[in-house]
Structure 1
Amino acid sequence: MTFPEIVKTTLWDIIDEMSHSLSSFVKNPDKDFIRKRKLDFKKMMHLIISMESGSLNHELLKFFEYDSSVPTGSAFYQQRSKLSVSAFRHLLKEFNLKFPLEKFRGKYYLIACDGSEFNIARNLKDADTFHEPNGKSVSGFNMVHTISLYEVCSKRYLDLEVQPGRLKNEFQAICNLMDRYAYGASPIFIADRGFSSYNVFAHAIENNVDFLIRAKDLNVQRFLGGGTLPDKLDTTIELILTRTQSKKKHKHPEKESQYRYIGKNIAFDYLNPADISDEYLLKLRIVRVEVSDGVFENIITTLSEEDFTPDDIKYCYNLRWGIETSFRDLKHTIGATNLHSKKTEYVAFELWSKLILYNFCSIIILHVPVKSRNRKYEYQVNFSLAMKICFDFLRGVAPPNVESLISKYILPIRPDRNYARQHRVQKPISFSYRFV
């Protein structure tokens, strides 16, 4: 059996095992998927994972190989409503565990955390996802917001939080992801400045995970007690967090300069709300590095000076960009922009399934060696085309020698190439007008 066949068999075997213990993966264990149907649990999971960008009825026709007794869209909706998001979360985790992640320095998992937005079918009545017309959209749009964990060395997604666009809370999302992290080793969470908060730092420390989180100059100045920031900085600070501004209630008056007040409306999960004199000690390392000529960035971390120099921290943080390029492949190559659902719950099903599909492709692609030759540039597999080959293989329509075919399509690695990011609203394609 070839490696791609092993990966494919492993994925389907996990779903088969899940089908024998459905209680954790459906909403009503006593009755869901009990009766025999064409769209049973296994087929529903297979179908949602392997759906392309066509209309729902077209996807059903392809999945059932144009059988005249193909289930209707209504039957699909009824069966889908029985599934729980825990089924997709469990499948992603178990699938990752079957193929060990690559470790940085043989010890660390470098886990990028970032948010992304997905436009969904327009629905003015859904107040949680609808955004009124603005300068970017004249008719308004519906959107969900996601926070993902992505292991940059293995190019794999580990976890996901899906929130209605109007109710997004990135601080809470990353805290939830840290709380349920279950991959062992020594994880280092790497995040942009939108995740810099006391509560996030504390959740990481309480869950024994390290982090590298970029912070604004203003935030670092507050941590340090004011003053102009030097061009380069590498220092460790201790802060005492409290809910009271009364100095008389401070337990360590000799450390008054280290106290930081957290207002009652600011989330912090490790101070007793019934005791305003409760205190929490937070120890952080602040590193300021030059990222380009005259441009400096601040990194908040728990990594020690002995294990990680400022240059090491700069290098690891730079790897965070891998999650940004993964979003491009997830949306446009894997097809996460062409969803088949309207409700946030079912949109989440499809987004989880796209992560599983992405990982399926990534595991196979990274196993394909690229021959080293005397060239100007080093070469890598054409990730986008390789993903399409892997996807066809999953659906059973690709040639059997998948790795050989993938190795034919390679691209030069140009490390200094960069492009300006484009910010624009993209409307979702209508359910009725799709042809893939």
Structure 2
Amino acid sequence: MFTQMRSDELKEKTRKSEKDFRRNRKIGFFPLVALILRMVRKSTQLELDEFREMFMLEEAAKTTYTKQSFSEARQKLLPEAFTLLNDELIRAYYEDGEFKTYLGFRLLAMDGSVMELPNTEETQVRYGYTTTYKVGFRIARALSSHLYDVENKLVLSSCLSRYDDNERSLAKRNIEHMLGLETAPVRNLILFDRGYPSAEFILYLQEKGISYLVRAQGSFYKEIVNTSLPDKVVTIEISKARAKELKKQGTPIAPGTVLHVRVVKVELSSGETEILLTYVNAEELSYEACKPLYFKRWGIEMRFDDLKHKFEIENFSGQKPQIIEQDFYATILLSNMASVMEQEAEEQMKES
């Protein structure tokens, strides 16, 4: 990843203009990226001076570097710099095949999280907003989506979008991004909460060959809800009436399309019956394994808690969308780097 960070290719892909980072300035492309990573939410003059004295000693002796010049330099850098660096980390981590699996799968979880943003007119227009009990009072918010490896504690893909965006659409973006990173076939199994299932989304997953386990709402298709057996493969046919309704919802499926879904019903300690849908057969995923497998999804909730409270992902260092997205994706990268270091430390402790 360090080599990629220095490469001209990364600079070409992530500078805002062809004119940016051409001439030698007070701070170059690589030190700027490293500085943002080091002080994602900080912009004090003390932090800037400390960084220069530690990593840019010769430049620090020749020139000054103010908060204003740092802010101006950031305007030239696209947030994609940090997603590309995260891609390199993810590729490197999985390339040797020596990563934790669960029941033979790389176990992933998909979920969204609402992000509180600096409340400006620009952020409200760009990302959307919610209203409060005070009439006309708006609070800027965004919706983030994350595809997370719950066993290896890594965010494979994430995106920051409008507050009113569709979680299934963002999930597809993350899945497509993940598939683009894979250099060798990987058996992925993705866990989804009950906000995700729809005929169109299930069809998408099955056409992509993605194994999944998703919790269904009690109001889902009657073929699923009315099954009397705890474990059964059901057939859902998209009738003309269903196709019309799906088209109205913006998720069109041709009439006559048939879906085959395995329905697993498990009883919780509360007495409630949980409905789980999957594309994995009983030989690979037994009925008994489904309940504890779905509870593995809790790992992504813990990651959200870490991002918000330990990494302070909502504590942005600026109000402009470009700065907000730099901070967001830089924090995702930092959290992944911390996970890798944590795992290496655990391995060393086991060995000793």
Give the TM-score, by structure 1 length. 0.69
Residue 35 to residue 191, structure 1, CA distance change in 2 (3 Å): same
Query: Residues 35-434 of structure 1: matches in 2 within 5 Å?
Result: 35-65=23-53, 67=60, 69-100=63-94, 102-105=99-102, 107-124=104-121, 126-127=124-125, 128-134=127-133, 140-165=138-163, 167-182=164-179, 183=182, 184-219=185-220, 222-224=221-223, 227=226, 230=228, 233-241=230-238, 244-245=240-241, 261-268=244-251, 271=253, 279-369=256-346
* Counterpart-to-counterpart distance in 2, 1:42 and 1:106: 41
Query: In 2, are the aligned partners of 1:15 and 1:91 still within 8 Å (CA)?
Result: yes
Per-residue CA distance 1:78-106 (angstroms, 9 max, x = gap) = 33233333322221111122123624247
Whether 1:14 and 2:11 are equivalent positions in the alignment is no
Query: In 2, are the aligned partners of 1:52 and 1:335 still within 8 Å (CA)?
Result: no
Query: Residues 16-31 of structure 1: matches in 2 within 5 Å?
Result: 16-17=6-7, 19-28=8-17, 30-31=18-19
Query: In 2, are the aligned partners of 1:240 and 1:260 still within 8 Å (CA)?
Result: no
Higher helix share: 2
Gaps in structure 2 of 5+ consecutive residues: 55-59
Residue 63 to residue 241, structure 1, CA distance change in 2 (3 Å): farther
Per-residue CA distance 1:248-280 (angstroms, 9 max, x = gap) = xxxxxxxxxxx76543232336x4xxxxx6643
Query: In 2, are the aligned partners of 1:178 and 1:204 still within 8 Å (CA)?
Result: no
* Counterpart-to-counterpart distance in 2, 1:366 and 1:290: 35
Deviation, 1:282, is 2.1
* Counterpart-to-counterpart distance in 2, 1:346 and 1:53: 10
Per-residue CA distance 1:339-371 (angstroms, 9 max, x = gap) = 11323343222111111111111111112238x
Per-residue CA distance 1:345-401 (angstroms, 9 max, x = gap) = 43222111111111111111112238xxxxxxxxxxxxxxxxxxxxxxxxxxxxxxx
Gaps in structure 1 of 5+ consecutive residues: 1-10, 246-258, 272-276, 371-402, 408-436
* Counterpart-to-counterpart distance in 2, 1:78 and 1:240: 57
SS of equivalent residue, structure 1 residue 367: helix
Deviation, 1:41, is 2.0
Aligned-pair identity in percent equals 22
Look up the match of 2:57: none
SS of equivalent residue, structure 1 residue 289: strand
Query: In 1, are the aligned partners of 2:109 and 2:149 still within 8 Å (CA)?
Result: yes
Give the TM-score, by structure 2 length. 0.84
Query: In 1, are the aligned partners of 2:218 and 2:225 still within 8 Å (CA)?
Result: no
Deviation, 1:14, is 2.4
Query: In 1, are the aligned partners of 2:75 and 2:322 still within 8 Å (CA)?
Result: no
Query: In 2, are the aligned partners of 1:60 and 1:70 still within 8 Å (CA)?
Result: no
**In the alignment, residue 152 of structure 1 is paired with which amino acid?**
V
RMSD over aligned CA atoms reads 3.0
* Counterpart-to-counterpart distance in 2, 1:203 and 1:194: 16
Q: What is the number of equivalent residue pairs in this alignment?
A: 337
* Counterpart-to-counterpart distance in 2, 1:207 and 1:37: 47
